[in-house]
Amino acid sequence: MIHHHTPVNRYIDREKSWLAFNARVLQEAADEKVPLLDRLRFLGIFSNNLDEFFRVRYAAVRRLSLAGQTGEKLLGGISSQQLLKDITEIVIEQQSESLRILSVIEQELQQENIYIINETEISKEQENFIKDFFIQKVSPELVTIILNDLDEFPLLKDAAGYLAVKLVIKPKQIKGPDGTLIDDDSNKKREVRYAVVEMPKTVNRFVVLPSNNDKHYVILLDDVIRYNLHNIFSIFNYESVSAHMIKITRDAQLEIDSDQSKSLMEKISKGVKERRIGEPVRFVYDQSIEKDTLNFFLTRMGIDATDSIIPGGRYHNRRDYMSFPNLGRYDLLYKQNPPLPIPGLSLDGSILDKIKEKDYLLNAPYQSFSYIIRFLREAALDPKVISIKITLYRLSKNSQIISSLINAAKNGKKVTVQIELQARFDEASNISYSEQMQREGINLIFGVKGLKVHSKICVVERVEKGKIKRYGFISTGNFNESTAKIYTDVTLFTYHQQILKDVNKIFDFFDVNYRIHRYKHLFVSPHYTRSKFYKLIDREILNAIAGKEAYIKLKMNSLTDYKMIDKLYEASREGVKIQLVIRGICCLIPGVEGMSENIEAISIVDNYLEHSRVYIFGNNGQPEVFISSADFMTRNLDERVEVTCPVYDEDIKKELIDTFEIGWKGNVKARLHSENLENRYRKRPEEKIFRAQLETYNYYRDKLEVVFDNF
């Protein structure tokens, strides 16, 4: 669709584009075709995303604004002050939309005999259970603080939920003229006490109540606490008590001090602790709270009008809906498609032997992530393997990756792990894994000063007939079993000695940072990625000018780098056809005459989170295909260690082009990126439904059937 007006801007604002992405998540929650319990899950994801946005992006713009900088250069022509206003407006609107969606979902759940009740709707049978549950499970975990007499207001933790409590104390009683006790009304003002109750994280937010028929009842932990307020505050002689939820979000900027004597691990632990006391950037409260209670909290916490103060509903931390109990109602969830095996990589025999014969591609979660674990387990036991090197960014709770590496170290292999201590919000867990690995004699590298390591690489060295041979894999995603069930990522297993020699050089660079290596095959940030992609785009431009077929197909999470966007605009003007599948932020404006008429851009938001990065360049009929850990964002191109790997195997190349085309044909879950951020669905009424993720799964299933038919 080509717009004939000249756009005011060349770029879309990055924060607003991100909010538009989160609006797509909200669209999934609102979509009646999405199973009910999954709609609740999408509400949770929407809320979780928003928390992170405030802790990181909003906080960064706010820092600019407080420093008195308008930041127009950084923010593409809008002042930081104006942007904060705009963001708050959009967020308040999205919040109220999410509450509206929640109440619709709750009504539909009731038609399915699932009732979310509050403390006023408890039946006699449920009453005993709730009292008992509170005494056994909740009460021991509660932190309750009476606030009136404290010199210093307690530190409210980021991301925890709190009940702000107001107690109105009964007046003292005095003897009346006739000797009976009456209230002392000489002081008309009642004494008021305020308290705060922190909701325990150790108890599930959703309490499933026993039911004696086919009806399911669920009550939120908040309401269990409200129901038992008397149990908590019985020592106060009060005549009324009320509790309203509040929540605070803090700036998540890590301040890392420059003390040379401390290890990076110590500094980051300290930074994570200090993040708890980061500046508040958002205060959300239940809008039915009494004025005086709200003012008491705002004043005592030092929150003023420059902060984002957002009226919300009765419940916050709706991210907890991500783990709403399924109550055995699998009919209200998406059908889980079991991850498929990779043809040719059977589950018995040596995986290294197979990779030696040819490259394999793993496309998770369509195919099973377990191949990565199997690769590491085999390397840990194989007597000929002498070393394993791997980069780790985000790990799952009980990481099988870590246990495989420890197993390898116990078997005398030299194991080198580059672990990114600054993987945002995973710092604490990565520190504890680091300590565990250090104890087991694993050689740890903590990144490169000033650069986050975001590449996903592994290389194994094996002695064969007196020579060292390398095996390895390169991925677009984190080596994390839990997220591998919901994030789409591709991993290339290879025995290509030159590529793996490059991978090995990256580990040398981690060790000695001042030596900049040359790489024959890989594009490595921060030194080469940008210029290599410029060259590939330039080649398409020359082909277009020469009248040859010229196209670029890119799939990524975010496109925010202005120079890269300008380069794509240039290619579009010269007639290169460009297709972009961008899940998240897209600062490029597609379809504008004279600027980007040859560019189309879509976003797919569905049951899986689209995370893989695949880059395809036409090259006059000999397409070149790359997989990468890098998005086209300034930080990925210039400020991190990222790896982009060419795909040489013709079958895998075809597979990546095929799956890109399937994604491109998607219409039900695909929205068009546009300047006005309206998230219009791509589907036209007359088109047949084509759900890209489902069709991708079918593509891999059909491949398997072909293999089995040949046996």
- 226 with 288, same domain: the answer is yes
| pLDDT score of 703 | 92
Let me know whether 132 and 32 are in one domain: yes
- Domain enclosing residue 471, as ranges: 351-517
Do 157 and 243 reside in the same domain of the chain? yes
Q: Minimal CA–CA distance to 257: which of 244, 273, 245, 236?
A: 273
What is the pairing mode between strands 443-445 and 414-419?
parallel
Is 269 a member of any domain? yes
Domain boundary among 450, 483, 517: 517
Q: What integer pLDDT is reported at residue 304 of this predicted model?
A: 79
Are 157 and 267 found together in one domain?
yes
Buried b (16+ CB within 10 A) or exposed e, 564-601: bbebbbebbebebbbbbbbbbbbbbbbbbeebbbbbbb
Q: With contact defined as beta carbons under 8 Å apart, do 332 and 37 qualify?
A: yes
What the block records as the tokens of 516 is 């900049």
Active site residue 454: yes
| Low-confidence residues of the chain: pLDDT under 50 | 4, 711
> What is the Cα–Cα distance from 455 to 22, expressed in whole angstroms?
26
CA distances from 552 to 626, 657, 675, 678, 704 (A): 12, 11, 21, 25, 30
One domain, residues 498 and 626: no
The helix (run of H) or strand (run of E) holding residue 370 is helix 370-381
Distances (CA, A) of 638 to 359, 462, 519, 634: 30, 34, 17, 6
Tokens 């946005």 correspond to: 53
Among 244, 454, 496, 673, the one annotated catalytic: 454
Between CA 475 and CA 361 the distance in angstroms is 10
CA 89 to CA 111: how far, in whole Å? Answer: 34
Do 510 and 433 belong together in one domain?
yes
Q: Domain tally for the chain?
A: 3
Res 62: pLDDT: 85
> Do 511 and 430 have their domain in common?
yes
Residue 686: burial class (beta carbons within 10 Å; 0-12, 13-18, 19+): exposed
In a domain, 2, yes or no: no
Closest among 359, 365, 392 to 646, alpha carbons compared: 359
* Known binding positions for Mg(2+): 394, 424
How far apart are alpha carbons 364 and 361 in whole angstroms? 10
In degrees, to the nearest 5, what angle opens at C-alpha 415 toward C-alphas 411 and 420? 140
Angle at 140 between CA 138 and CA 143, to 5 degrees: 90
Residue at 196 is within a domain: yes
Closest listed residue to residue 648, CA positions, set 342, 360, 351: 360
Evaluate whether residue 206 is within a structural domain. yes
Token pair in block for residue 414: 């030299």
pLDDT tens for 300-316 read 988 876 667 888 888 88
pTM: 0.91
Which residues fall in the annotated binding site for ATP?
Answer: 49, 487, 583, 611
CB 282 within 8 Å of CB 310: yes
Quote the CA–CA distance of 175 and 197 in Å, as a whole number. Answer: 36
Picking from 480, 499, 517, the residue at the C-terminal end of a domain is: 517
Q: In terms of Cα–Cα distance, which of 460, 462, 421 is closest to 438?
A: 421
The answer to the question of residue 559 being in a domain is: yes
Residue with tokens 């958002």: 282
Cis peptide before 526 (omega within 30 of 0): yes
Report the binding-site residues.
Answer: 49, 394, 424, 487, 583, 611
CB 406 within 8 A of CB 375: no
Strands 457-464 and 385-392: antiparallel
Residue pair 73/344 in contact by the 8 Å Cβ criterion: no
The H or E element containing residue 217 is: strand 216-220
Sequence-distant (6+) residues with CB within 8 A of 487 are 364, 365, 477, 478, 608, 609, 611
pLDDT of residue 711: 44
Domain match, 208 and 283 both? yes
Residues 409 and 385 in one domain: yes
Is residue 344 one of the residues assigned to a domain? no
Report the candidate in 660, 508, 684, 670 with the shortest Cα–Cα distance to residue 579.
660
Beta-carbon count within 10 A of 533 CB: 24
Q: Is position 7 within any domain?
A: no
CATH number at residue 572: 3.30.870.10
Based on the domain organization, do 511 and 528 belong to the same domain? no
- Per-residue confidence (pLDDT) for residue 2, from 0 to 100: 53
Prior bond of 365 cis (ω within 30°):
yes
Tell me: do 77 and 203 sit in the same domain: yes
Q: State the residue for tokens 């990144």.
A: 447
- Determine, yes or no, domain membership for 338: no
Same domain for 182 and 244?
yes
Give the tens place of pLDDT for each residue, 60-88: 888 888 877 666 666 667 888 889 899 98
Q: CATH number for the domain including 307?
A: 3.30.1840.10
Residues 6+ apart with CB under 8 A from 179: none
Strand, helix or coil at 261?
Answer: coil
